[in-house]
Amino acid sequence: GESVGLHLPTLSVQEGDNSIINCAYSNSASDYFIWYKQESGKGPQFIIDIRSNMDKRQGQRVTVLLNKTVKHLSLQIAATQPGDSAVYFCAENIVGTDKLIFGTGTRLQVFP
């Protein structure tokens, strides 16, 4: 079936540490994945994306890893800051469709 899920609903990290947010997807026909950040009371904000022909992509302080063998996606945030506190969603696009399927989300809490 089509589903995107997350292993950890809440992740608490200390400021300065690295954060890893995980996501599992079930549709092997998905060829494009996106991570979004949603702050309280706001709409989701694009962070980084990756296509299925890649296994790693880096942005500013963020890295997305894709393991197609086990259908797993992760978002790594380096040197986590208080401003990173938010809910993070992964989303997948099934090849040939114009739709994104979102996961449930993981809340990242950063404490001093």
Partner 1 sequence: NAGVTQTPKFRILKIGQSMTLQCAQDMNHNYMYWYRQDPGMGLKLIYYSVGAGITDKGEVPNGYNVSRSTTEDFPLRLELAAPSQTSVYFCASIEKGPAGTQYFGPGTRLLVL
* Residue 26 lies near partner 1 (rule: CB under 8 A): no
- Listed in sequence order, the residues at least 6 apart from 36 whose beta carbon sits closer than 8 Å to its beta carbon are 44, 45, 46, 47, 88, 89, 90, 91, 102
* Residue 89 lies near partner 1 (rule: CB under 8 A): yes
* Residue 43 lies near partner 1 (rule: CB under 8 A): yes
Dihedral (CA of 38, 39, 43, 49) sign: negative
CB of 37 to partner 1, least distance (A): 11
Binding site for partner 1 (CB under 8 A): 4, 32, 34, 41-46, 49, 51, 89, 91, 93, 97-105
